[in-house]
A and B are shown apart, each in its own frame.
Chain A
Amino acid sequence: MLRVWNLSLVVATFCLTILGTFLTRSGVVNSVHSFTQSAIGPLLLGFLALVGLVAVGLIAWRADLLRSPGSIDSPVSREAAFLANNLLFGAFAFVVLLGTVFPLLAEAYDGRQLSVGEPYFDQMTMPIGFALLFLMAVAPALPWRAASIEVMHRRLAIPAWTAAGAMAIATFAGMRGIAPVLTLGLATFALAGIGRQFGLAAASRRRLKNERWPVALTGAVASNRRLYGGLIVHAGVVLVAVAFAFSSAYSVKREARLAPGESTTIRGYKVTFLGIETATGPRKATVSARLRVERGGRVLGAYGPALSTFPGSPQAIGTPSVRTGLAEDLYLTLISSPRSPDGEVVVGMRANPLVVWLWIGGAVMAAGTVVAAWAPLRRRRRPTEDSTSPPVPARTEGAGSPDLVIPLAAAGGSGAKEPG
């Protein structure tokens, strides 16, 4: 299923990374990574053309062999969800590509200089992100080939109510902003769906084998690593999405001019400037501000954002100091250093909620990938072959109800989540 699609996406991904490298390294796009003096630009462009032509030619030549016999039977099926997923990711890539090359095209067209930056990308990609989150919540609950309303109701009602409840509680607790509240709702929808699948699989195994919960859960995951690895990856993506939405919507930022001993506050943190430290070496001179951070009367530590100047460079390079916490990160930067040892400094402060969850989400995604990749290679069974049976999913309502098992058994496959 969707093999031509998948291969085309793989090729497009590789070509776009080469294009991105060409755009930045060749100096066509203003970037700190550009090597405008080197001859690498034409080489990269030639390589990109070669890769693109060969890949497109190969796919066109062999497309008939890649095309799978089945088709998408129903718009409410997992196959259709994969197709919609491909289109959404394609749209995401298109927006990024267009926004990146548009200033070049506009200038080539009529000489006008335009910029396309973060506000454009945020506005254009946010709806796509919401659609992807929604799809991530619904798609794993969709059976292959076709779903009935009854099945969808049974699988999605509890996750949907959990999501609605989370949104209601959050807004009654004072959370504001459509984007973060909607992200929270969709994330809860997806996580509740994932939790339901794990719970049902473990409960079924527990019933059958009389195992304890942790053993049953591990056994259920081991029985279909591709499926559960994929769901773990989904959970990681959800964490990243929530962290992204919350850190964008609820970060606060301010600057303060402080004399030694003076304090300022930002979202409950009290930041006190203790003094400066200087270090002068042959390669650079560094001035760092010693800052004490407290919260609720408890000292959280001393931090030292710095500014370094290098010989021959007029602009100082800042080195921020970051306090990382599970709920929030506090970024401290030294914006201007004092003219005298006991002079004033300008300190930049930024409190960003949930940033560390971007990393935790990434780690969860990596863990899910390991679980899925660990799966033994499945041998495709021919219908006439009758040796060992393919791994049949556990008899849970979520993973192995008859409406799911019939198409799987008919296809001679397992319950693994496999788009190819």
Chain B
Amino acid sequence: MRRLCWLGVAVVVASSLLLASRNPAPSSAAGSRAARLTSELRCPTCQGLSVAASPSPAAESIRADIGRRIANGETDDGIRRAYVDRYGEWILLRPPAAGVGSIVWGLPAAAGGLAAGGLGFALWRWRGRIGWEASDDDRALVEAELARSDGRARGDA
């Protein structure tokens, strides 16, 4: 029965996520593509702002250019490549996962894996030391405390 309950939760959650991932809004629509691409490119004249967030004339002209490129049927990768060719990798706010850029992606994953592994190992080792059982003294102590708190509660009421 217990197993059935959690299986039911898993099925409902998985079906909901599957449904949620289907037809993910209009992500392929031109406006959404433009919004995604402009948020991934750095405004060349600002201090750390994306093209999407910047009100500068340079960002405005890049937004217009990206709109034109999408209308001309260019792919997302093609548009990114065109901007990297013009400005260098610096223009990408999502650093490339190759070369030295792989460190910024790989290091957190490696550290996370190590931490999870370490946590699992430590808990597994500590688990062997449980041997914890409430003694009769413990139970008597708890009963006494509960009786006392009940008595107090009745007294208060």
Contact = CB atoms under 8 A, between A and B. Distances in A.
The A interface is mostly helix, strand or loop, or mixed, namely: helix
Contact of A72 (B21, B93, B126, B153): B126
Given A106-B101, A115-B95, A91 B115 contact: yes
B108 A91 contact: yes
A209 B94 contact: no
A161 B8 CA distance: 9
B48 A30 contact: yes
Contact of B94 (A73, A75, A87, A117): A117
A177 B42 contact: no
Contacts of B31: 254
Interface string B99-125: 111011101100110011001101110
B104 A146 contact: no
A43 interface: no
Contact of A409 (B52, B56, B142): B142
B100 A112 contact: yes
A84 B119 CA distance: 8
A37 interface: no
Interface string B42-83: 100001101010011000100000000000000000000000
A394 B25 CA distance: 48
Interface in A83-110: 83-84, 87, 90-91, 94-95, 98-99, 102, 106, 109-110
Contacts of B100: 106, 109-110, 112, 114
Contact of A87 (B40, B48, B115, B150): B115
Interface in B110-157: 111-112, 115-116, 119-120, 122-124, 126-127, 129-130, 132, 134, 138-139, 141-142, 145-146, 148-150, 153-154, 156-157
A30 B44 CA distance: 12
A333 interface: yes
Contacts of A115: 42, 89-93, 95
B17 to A, nearest CB: 6
A75 B99 CA distance: 38
B95 A315 contact: no
A185 B13 contact: yes
Contacts of A176: 20-25
Given A115-B90, A410-B134, A410-B141, 16 more contacts: A30-B48, A32-B47, A73-B126, A75-B123, A80-B123, A84-B119, A87-B119, A102-B95, A116-B95, A161-B5, A168-B16, A181-B17, A390-B145, A392-B145, A406-B138, A409-B138
B144 to A, nearest CB: 9
A73 B129 contact: yes
Given A106-B100, A124-B108, A402-B142, A178 B150 contact: no
Contacts of B124: 75
A287 interface: no
Contact of B103 (A95, A102, A165): A102
Interface in A235-272: 253-254
Contacts of B9: 157, 160-161, 163-164
A64 interface: no
A84 B93 CA distance: 30
A253 B138 CA distance: 63
Contact of A209 (B2, B52, B130, B156): B156
Given A91-B108, A98-B108, A209-B156, A120 B23 contact: no
The list of the 7 closest CB pairs from A to B, nearest first, reads A117-B93, A167-B16, A164-B12, A181-B20, A75-B123, A119-B94, A113-B90
B62 to A, nearest CB: 14
B95 A149 contact: no
Contacts of B156: 209
A385 interface: no
Measured as residues with beta carbon below 8 angstroms from the partner, the interface class of chain A is 35 or more
A165 B12 contact: yes
Contacts of B129: 71, 73
Contacts of A32: 47
B99 to A, nearest CB: 8
Nearest to B18: A171
Nearest to B130: A73
Contacts of B132: 73, 145-146
B123 to A, nearest CB: 4
Interface in A128-184: 145-146, 149-150, 153, 157, 160-161, 163-165, 167-168, 170-172, 175-178, 180-182
B119 A83 contact: yes
A145 B9 CA distance: 27
A318 B145 contact: no
Contacts of A109: 100
Contacts of B93: 115-120
A208 interface: yes
Nearest to B123: A75
A324 interface: no
A395 interface: yes
B133 to A, nearest CB: 10
Interface string B1-17: 01001101100110111
